[in-house]
Chains A and B, each alone.
Chain A
Amino acid sequence: MKFVAVTGCPTGIAHTYMAAEQLEKTARELGHEIQVETQGAMGIENELSAAAIAGADAVILAADIAIEGADRFDGKTKIEVPVQTAIKEAGSIFARAGAVK
């Protein structure tokens, strides 16, 4: 499957990036494609293009903050989880995505 994701945490120093790393790593292990945008203390990095969003089967929002540009994902299948879940149980997120699809 193809995923896009956004991660973000309140201070934007650690969890944002850990979640991004974990989602990327787990997606690789499960044979999925993923692009992760981080919204941390350095602002938005690896920003998702409209095309990437359009081409994704599902959107993972792993954030403890209100993310920027949430309207970009209107109409898409969204899986919204706390950032901790992406770090600790990334596998379950992809499993959920499979179920909703």
Chain B
Amino acid sequence: MSLEYQFFCPLKHGVHARPATELSRRASAFRSDVRIVNGRTGQSSNAKSLLSLVGADFRHDDPCVLDISGDDQADALRELRTFIEQEFAGLDIAVEDDGRRVVDHRLPPSLRMCNPTYLRGRPVVSGIVEGAVVHLATQRVNPELIEASATPVDVEMDRLAGGFTALVSELTARKARASSLEAGAILDAHIAIANDPEFRDQIESSVREGQSVAVAIQSAKAYYESLLSNAGSRLIEERQLDLRDVCDQLLRSVYGKAAFVSQNGQHLPESAIAIAEELTPQQFLELDKSRIRGLIVNKIGMTSHTAVLARAAGVPMICDLQKSSIVLTDGRFAVLDGDHAILVVDPSGSIQRYYQREQTKRTRLRQQQRARAQLQAATADGETVRVFANAMSPLEVKKAIDAGADGIGLYRTEWMFLDRPAPPTEGEQFETLAEAVRAAQGKPVVIRLLDVGGDKPVPYLNLPVEENPFLGYRGARIYPEIERVVRGQVRAILRASALGRVRMLVPMIATVAEMQWVRSLVADVMDELNQEGVDFDRELEIGAMVETPAAGLVIAQLARVADFFSIGSNDLIQYLLAADRGNERVRGLQTPYHPAVVAFLKAIVDQAVRAQRDISICGEIAGQSEYLPLLLGIGLRSLSSEPTAVSVVKARVGDYDASDCETMVQTAMTAVDAGSVRTLCAKLQVRPKSRPLIEPNVVLFDSTAGTREEAIKDLVDNLLIQGRIHDPIDIEEAVWTREKQSSTSVGYGIAIPHGRSRQVLANTISFLRLKEPINWDDGAEDAVRFVFLLTIRDSEADQSHMTILSQLARRIMQDEFRKGLEYCETPTAVVEHIRNHINLNDVETTAGG
């Protein structure tokens, strides 16, 4: 006689993998048969089988009957009943937000108000693309295995048993080494699937019926995939990936490497947003870039080499997509927004229109910035700032110089050495470097010596695989062991130095001796070249990278052997804060806003200035304009960013007073935490610009905006393009905050949205004439044709401008003014008309502050 226990499913998200794993584990501890019948569907499942449980689609409040029969049924019932009553519900998870990611990047109101369905990630490469989501398969099962006929049943059964044993012990061993809770949980789920009695039974019976192990695994995979994809819960659908993984690993443990062939030429849709768990640089290079529009990679730090390649190829990319109940089935249409690090799924018409406007803005902004980028950048108070680019190929050098870079601040040479069986010859290296130096058109190129370690695959160097490669054998530390390779590279660099302005940079310096070693090698090679009669720059400067805290504290001593310095902020920050940049759980610590980072960078720069050595910074923060006030305040006057960021950085430099930044940094160094420093930076007043309140370039005719959101976005975007505002999101927020208090539609077909913000560089009256009148807000009785946007600098001293605005407000109430506006057919006419009715002169001569 079996025992029964009735209950209602207490899990809000149904029985998904996590509770199912735990229930099956508890049930498996007993000899009795344990089944659960779902009263809603009538389906009975084996409670010892994770797959059987999740496949049965138990939903919240489903009536369930636990049915136990066997010699230990009484114990089993007691135990499982307690488990269900007390622990089961606690195994549910909050799906929508895993809470680990601090929301840092804001979405603009004009996007937010379109109510996008999106997943957040972390930004890697900016840019916006739309396309169909596709999961990249980097390998597929070897077809020969599937076609081969089965060996005798007992042989196949033995293979399978051996495969399972090997798989479980390997997974268990990996679990023991798992670096994070998340990784451990995934491995637990994999172990549970590998041990699942139903899963094993399914494969074993196929083999007993005469199928080969390979065919049996593949059919079990297909069976459970369809079972899981029919389950009502999206959480369960996601388990398909785990199932696929376990099946593939099982195949591998039975057949070894021969189980798979690498997958090239996977069919990709014409515009694909590719999703991959991991993507090696090699795999990235093999992708069909004509179809891959965007990339989402889960396991990647900001500095992974795949990211560097994607940036170079202009493929927008984000990483660490948040866990969510949104299932990204292949073919689902989405927009990848690399700027805000989100993937917007099934974008509505209004979202697509938003992104079209955004693309237009980006294009115009880029043109504007490019045009200005050829000029020397200087702060508002006249300090010259040189903006260099990081590059790793002659093509990138060319792009960077075209984009206005003052030179190449970091030329990475690793690329010539990776993914090949032998090091490149001196000749090969010289050819590439010579091309890079020529592409710089006489501007300086800082070439960094080989920077590799255990984390980069260079098989012929025989570098040991290390527990912690970032604290290991890498950079300059390995040079004595690979002297022949370094010598070849030094020769190539010296030869290239005859063709332009070349400097040499040595990575990962921690001691003076390391620099001395390189210097004497260079001196030796110079002698060699002299004797050979080969031309080179005899004055070639050799610099040290400052990426270890040790180097940062002995700049004066290093200055005796280094002609210049370059701060590698990515590594320096990770070493200073003792926080691995690839480790999600300490990522919160990884911020340049930490007062320790600010103080340390300042100390490094001060030492270099005292030693009369050039110093620049070449980490990611050099290209992220939010950190610009910090870098300027620290005293850096030379930055090296990714080529795409050069024009942006150059455009931003002029927004700040170097002296304001320096004062701010003094406070930042003594701040309590990173949050306070971030606030200090954000609050720093951007320098006002002296501009007329209204000019033809802020008058927009025949706008196609169809909503209030689009009209405001068009106007704000134009202000950004005209360099009249700093942070457009802040401006939009200010305008919308006002708009939400009460509509600014004032009748007569006119709306006057307005806002005050510290992010305004120049007070402006912008004007928009709509092609088709729009319904400004639900309450508005008449449609709006003319929009005046007033953007005012949020500071005390602007009363005179307020006079102008109050005059404008009054004029709008006058018929004559409005009629005149109707007759204006050009932006210039609008400006004239407004000037005729409002006296702007007094104000503009005093403008600028």
Q: Of A11, A42, A64, A87, which contacts B754 at CB under 8 A?
A: A11
B756: Cβ under 8 A from any A Cβ: yes
B95: Cβ under 8 A from any A Cβ: no
- Hey, which chain A residues are within 8 Å of B756, CB to CB? 11, 13
Q: Are A18 and B812 in contact (CB under 8 A)?
A: yes
Q: Mark B398-426, 1 if CB is under 8 A from A, else 0.
A: 00000000000000000000000000000
Q: CB within 8 Å of A: which of B805-833?
A: 805-814
B81: Cβ under 8 A from any A Cβ: no
- Hey, which chain B residues are within 8 Å of A88, CB to CB? 746-747
A17: Cβ under 8 A from any B Cβ: yes
26 contacts between A and B (CB under 8 A): A10-B738, A10-B741, A11-B756, A13-B802, A14-B752, A14-B806, A14-B809, A15-B746, A15-B809, A16-B806, A17-B810, A18-B746, A20-B810, A21-B809, A21-B810, A21-B813, A25-B813, A25-B814, A40-B802, A40-B806, A41-B802, A42-B806, A87-B746, A87-B747, A87-B813, A88-B746
Q: Nearest chain A CB to B563's CB is how many angstroms away? A: 56
Q: Nearest chain A CB to B801's CB is how many angstroms away? A: 10
Q: Are B754 and A17 in contact (CB under 8 A)?
A: no
- Hey, which chain A residues are within 8 Å of B741, CB to CB? 10-11, 64
B799: Cβ under 8 A from any A Cβ: yes
Question: What residues make up the interface of A, taking CB atoms closer than 8 Å to B?
Answer: 9-11, 13-18, 20-22, 25, 38, 40-42, 64, 82-84, 87-88
From A13, A20, A21, A64, residue with most partner B Cβ within 10 Å: A13
- Hey, which chain A residues are within 8 Å of B803, CB to CB? 42
- Hey, which chain B residues are within 8 Å of A9, CB to CB? 742
- Hey, which chain A residues are within 8 Å of B802, CB to CB? 13, 40-42
The docked-state distance in angstroms from the alpha carbon of A11 to that of B736 is: 12
The docked-state distance in angstroms from the alpha carbon of A88 to that of B813 is: 10
Contact A14/B805 with A42-B799, A87-B747 known, Cβ cut-off 8 Å: yes
Q: Nearest chain B CB to A42's CB is how many angstroms away? A: 5
Q: Nearest chain B CB to A82's CB is how many angstroms away? A: 8
Q: Nearest chain A CB to B758's CB is how many angstroms away? A: 15
The docked-state distance in angstroms from the alpha carbon of A16 to that of B805 is: 11
Q: Are A13 and B810 in contact (CB under 8 A)?
A: no
B744: Cβ under 8 A from any A Cβ: yes
- Hey, which chain A residues are within 8 Å of B808, CB to CB? 14
From B747, B806, B811, B812, residue with most partner A Cβ within 10 Å: B806
The docked-state distance in angstroms from the alpha carbon of A14 to that of B806 is: 6
- Hey, which chain B residues are within 8 Å of A64, CB to CB? 741-742
The docked-state distance in angstroms from the alpha carbon of A28 to that of B744 is: 25
Q: Of A10, A17, A25, A82, which contacts B809 at CB under 8 A?
A: A17
- Hey, which chain A residues are within 8 Å of B742, CB to CB? 9-10, 64, 82-84
- Hey, which chain B residues are within 8 Å of A40, CB to CB? 802, 806
Q: Of B747, B790, B799, which contacts A14 at CB under 8 A?
A: B790
Q: CB within 8 Å of A: which of B566-604?
A: none
Q: Are B809 and A18 in contact (CB under 8 A)?
A: yes
Question: Whose C-beta in chain A lies nearest to the C-beta of B754?
Answer: A13
The docked-state distance in angstroms from the alpha carbon of A87 to that of B126 is: 45
List 14 additional A-B contacts (Cβ < 8 Å) besides A16-B809, A40-B806: A10-B741, A10-B742, A11-B738, A11-B754, A13-B756, A14-B746, A18-B809, A18-B810, A18-B812, A20-B810, A21-B810, A25-B813, A83-B742, A87-B813
- Hey, which chain A residues are within 8 Å of B747, CB to CB? 87-88
Question: Whose C-beta in chain B lies nearest to the C-beta of A22?
Answer: B813
From A15, A17, A20, A40, residue with most partner B Cβ within 10 Å: A17
From A10, A14, A18, A40, residue with most partner B Cβ within 10 Å: A14
B345: Cβ under 8 A from any A Cβ: no
- Hey, which chain B residues are within 8 Å of A14, CB to CB? 744, 746, 752, 754, 790, 805-806, 808-809
- Hey, which chain A residues are within 8 Å of B738, CB to CB? 10-11
- Hey, which chain A residues are within 8 Å of B810, CB to CB? 17-18, 20-21
The docked-state distance in angstroms from the alpha carbon of A44 to that of B518 is: 72
The docked-state distance in angstroms from the alpha carbon of A83 to that of B738 is: 14
Q: Nearest chain B CB to A94's CB is how many angstroms away? A: 16
Question: Whose C-beta in chain B lies nearest to the C-beta of A87?
Answer: B746
- Hey, which chain A residues are within 8 Å of B792, CB to CB? 13
The docked-state distance in angstroms from the alpha carbon of A15 to that of B814 is: 14
Question: Whose C-beta in chain B lies nearest to the C-beta of A41?
Answer: B802
- Hey, which chain A residues are within 8 Å of B809, CB to CB? 13-18, 21
Question: Whose C-beta in chain A lies nearest to the C-beta of B750?
Answer: A18
- Hey, which chain A residues are within 8 Å of B752, CB to CB? 14
Q: Of A17, A22, A83, A84, which contacts B806 at CB under 8 A?
A: A17
The docked-state distance in angstroms from the alpha carbon of A58 to that of B741 is: 28
- Hey, which chain B residues are within 8 Å of A11, CB to CB? 738, 741, 754-756
The docked-state distance in angstroms from the alpha carbon of A38 to that of B807 is: 12
The docked-state distance in angstroms from the alpha carbon of A41 to that of B804 is: 12
The docked-state distance in angstroms from the alpha carbon of A10 to that of B743 is: 12
Q: Are B813 and A18 in contact (CB under 8 A)?
A: yes
Q: Nearest chain A CB to B271's CB is how many angstroms away? A: 43
The docked-state distance in angstroms from the alpha carbon of A41 to that of B792 is: 11
Q: Are A38 and B806 in contact (CB under 8 A)?
A: yes
- Hey, which chain B residues are within 8 Å of A20, CB to CB? 810
Q: Mark B827-845, 1 if CB is under 8 A from A, else 0.
A: 0000000000000000000
- Hey, which chain B residues are within 8 Å of A22, CB to CB? 813
- Hey, which chain B residues are within 8 Å of A15, CB to CB? 744, 746, 809
Q: Nearest chain B CB to A36's CB is how many angstroms away? A: 11
Question: Whose C-beta in chain B lies nearest to the C-beta of A82?
Answer: B742
- Hey, which chain A residues are within 8 Å of B814, CB to CB? 21, 25
- Hey, which chain B residues are within 8 Å of A13, CB to CB? 754, 756, 790, 792, 802, 805-806, 809
Question: Whose C-beta in chain A lies nearest to the C-beta of B815?
Answer: A25
- Hey, which chain A residues are within 8 Å of B807, CB to CB? 17
Q: Nearest chain B CB to A38's CB is how many angstroms away? A: 7
Question: Whose C-beta in chain B lies nearest to the C-beta of A89?
Answer: B747
Q: Nearest chain B CB to A41's CB is how many angstroms away? A: 5
- Hey, which chain A residues are within 8 Å of B813, CB to CB? 18, 21-22, 25, 87
6 smallest A-B Cβ distances: which pairs? A17-B809, A21-B810, A17-B806, A21-B813, A14-B809, A18-B809
Question: Whose C-beta in chain B lies nearest to the C-beta of A14?
Answer: B809
Question: Whose C-beta in chain B lies nearest to the C-beta of A88?
Answer: B747
The docked-state distance in angstroms from the alpha carbon of A64 to that of B811 is: 21
Q: Nearest chain B CB to A6's CB is how many angstroms away? A: 15
- Hey, which chain A residues are within 8 Å of B755, CB to CB? 11
Q: Nearest chain A CB to B778's CB is how many angstroms away? A: 14
- Hey, which chain B residues are within 8 Å of A21, CB to CB? 809-811, 813-814
The docked-state distance in angstroms from the alpha carbon of A9 to that of B746 is: 13
Q: CB within 8 Å of A: which of B726-760?
A: 738, 741-742, 744, 746-747, 752, 754-756
- Hey, which chain A residues are within 8 Å of B806, CB to CB? 13-14, 16-17, 38, 40, 42
Q: Nearest chain B CB to A54's CB is how many angstroms away? A: 27
The docked-state distance in angstroms from the alpha carbon of A11 to that of B742 is: 11
The docked-state distance in angstroms from the alpha carbon of A10 to that of B287 is: 55
The docked-state distance in angstroms from the alpha carbon of A57 to that of B811 is: 28
The docked-state distance in angstroms from the alpha carbon of A40 to that of B756 is: 13
Question: Whose C-beta in chain A lies nearest to the C-beta of B811?
Answer: A21
Q: Nearest chain B CB to A91's CB is how many angstroms away? A: 13
- Hey, which chain B residues are within 8 Å of A83, CB to CB? 742
Q: Nearest chain A CB to B310's CB is how many angstroms away? A: 44
The docked-state distance in angstroms from the alpha carbon of A61 to that of B803 is: 22
- Hey, which chain B residues are within 8 Å of A42, CB to CB? 799, 802-803, 806
The docked-state distance in angstroms from the alpha carbon of A21 to that of B807 is: 9
The docked-state distance in angstroms from the alpha carbon of A16 to that of B807 is: 11
Q: Nearest chain A CB to B785's CB is how many angstroms away? A: 17
The docked-state distance in angstroms from the alpha carbon of A25 to that of B756 is: 29
The docked-state distance in angstroms from the alpha carbon of A59 to that of B509 is: 78
- Hey, which chain A residues are within 8 Å of B811, CB to CB? 21
The docked-state distance in angstroms from the alpha carbon of A90 to that of B741 is: 21
Q: CB within 8 Å of A: which of B623-678?
A: none
- Hey, which chain A residues are within 8 Å of B805, CB to CB? 13-14, 17
The docked-state distance in angstroms from the alpha carbon of A25 to that of B744 is: 20
The docked-state distance in angstroms from the alpha carbon of A17 to that of B752 is: 12
The docked-state distance in angstroms from the alpha carbon of A18 to that of B799 is: 18
